[in-house]
Amino acid sequence: MRQEFRKALVTGASSGIGEAFARLLAARGADLVLVARRDDLLRRLAEELSTRHRVGVEVLPADLTDPGDLERVAGRLTDEPVDLLINNAGSAAFGPFAEVPPAERLAEIDLNVTALTRLTHAALPDMLRRGRGGVLNVASMAAFTPSPGNAVYGATKAYVAALSESLHAEVIGRGVHVTALCPGFTRTDESAGPDLIWLRRQDVARAGLEAVAAGRALCVPGVQYKVALPALRTAPRTLLRTAVDRTWRRAARTRTGD
């Protein structure tokens, strides 16, 4: 059954795909709870959306890697339930695994895995009691391939995709939709159009919203990435590792000028 969402909480809402989610939902008449670290950006966006679309917009500044802030947002979901939770906030610490400080790697896990899991757990029980609602978790195409130079990010996004598909199977038939959104390379600059590699953020957000409304377990935006996914899932892992290793080494040589 296709769902319409009247109120949504969006994490990482101050820019990028998160901002695109907020704009699309507001244009559809949904009230919003916007979560991100930057209070000033959130308030500016909230004022614009509430004025333009006459929807309610609540600003909830929070650093989801901070346990206290995370519990505050989780409490908001349990005390005042929403129809749609979009776990969009995420981070990546690029570079060889051994050369990036461990605190940065652990912060990736805190945001991409721990916060997403906690907020999903906070939102689902009430959705299941009401027999309606949706959770859209932003993963990545990196979930399906080795990611040298971005190993922890790829591993966290594999977790997000696996968790989302498993939860989708748990709640199917109970009126609640859980969807993993797996975009490839996505532009944050809206002045540029899509091409053979890069997607536009509003196209990614729109595809994700359509997928969770329709109750699909997995959404891969862009024809180029839809075509690539079956190959990534069926190709021998040794072949995939060889291909990405060559790409990583070439990129590393470019960075160092060798």
* Contacts with 184 (C-beta within 8 Å, 6 or more apart), sequence order: 140, 141, 197, 199, 221, 222, 224, 225, 228
Inter-residue contact 185 to 198 (CB < 8 Å):
yes
Give the SS3 label for residue 11.
strand
The one catalytic residue in 5, 21, 144, 153 is 153
Q: 39-70, pLDDT tens digit by residue? A: 999 999 999 999 999 999 999 999 999 999 99
Residue 147 burial (C-beta neighbours within 10 Å; 0-12, 13-18, 19+): buried
Q: Which of 180, 148, 142 is nearest to 161 (CA)?
A: 180
Mean local confidence (pLDDT), 95-100: 90
Inter-residue contact 90 to 12 (CB < 8 Å):
yes
Give the DSSP H or E segment for 239: helix 237-256
Domains belonging to the chain, first-starting first, are 7-256 (3.40.50.720)
- Residue 196 has φ and ψ, to the nearest 5°, of -65, -20
Give the DSSP H or E segment for 163: helix 151-171
- Residues of the chain above pLDDT 70, percent: 88
Give the SS3 label for residue 93.
coil
pLDDT over 70 at 195, yes or no: no
Average pLDDT along the chain: 90
Inter-residue contact 49 to 218 (CB < 8 Å):
no
Give the DSSP H or E segment for 84: strand 84-87
Tokens of 36: 């991100």
Higher per-residue confidence, 50 vs 150: 50
Q: Is 153 a catalytic residue?
A: yes
Inter-residue contact 179 to 212 (CB < 8 Å):
yes
- Residues of the chain above pLDDT 90, percent: 72
* Contacts with 72 (C-beta within 8 Å, 6 or more apart), sequence order: 60, 62
Mean pLDDT check: name the lowest of 15-24, 105-114, 209-218, 242-251: 242-251
pLDDT (0 to 100) of residue 207? 97
Inter-residue contact 77 to 62 (CB < 8 Å):
no
> Can you give the pTM of this predicted structure?
0.90
* Residue type for position 17: I
* Contacts with 113 (C-beta within 8 Å, 6 or more apart), sequence order: 156, 159, 160
Give 193's pLDDT tier (boundaries 50, 70, 90).
Answer: low
CA–CA distances in Å: residue 221 to residues 131, 201, 256: 28, 10, 33
Tokens of 117: 């899991």
Higher per-residue confidence, 185 vs 168: 168
Residue with tokens 């922890």: 152
Exposure string of 117-129, with b = 16+ CB inside 10 Å and e = fewer, is ebbbebbbebbee
